């Protein structure tokens, strides 16, 4: 079993959050370029990912 210390776990969380952030921004931008329901759906998925990131970040400051 792989053992991780706190600093490597924190770095992994930050890296995963950065990757999800970049994907969410890319979805919003590409969704804006598409007119119609598919573009709207793409932007809503990107927005949901961004809101999820905000929730995940802010839950430690409850």
Answer yes or no: is pLDDT of 2 > 80: no
Length of the chain counted residue by residue: 62
Q: How far apart are CA 25 and CA 28, in angstroms?
A: 5
Answer yes or no: is pLDDT of 4 > 80: no
Q: What is the dihedral of CA 12, 16, 17, 18, to 10 degrees?
A: 100
Confidence of residue 1 (pLDDT cuts 50, 70, 90): low
Q: How far apart are CA 8 and CA 28, in angstroms?
A: 30
Average pLDDT value for the chain: 90
The H or E element containing residue 53 is helix 37-58
């Amino acid at each position: 079993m792989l053992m991780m210390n706190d600093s490597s776990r924190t770095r992994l969380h930050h890296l995963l959050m950065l990757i999800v952030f970049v994907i969410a921004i890319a979805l919003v931008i590409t969704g804006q370029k598409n007119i119609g329901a598919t573009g709207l759906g793409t932007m809503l998925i990107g927005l949901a990912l961004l809101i999820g990131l905000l929730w995940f970040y802010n839950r430690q400051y409850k």
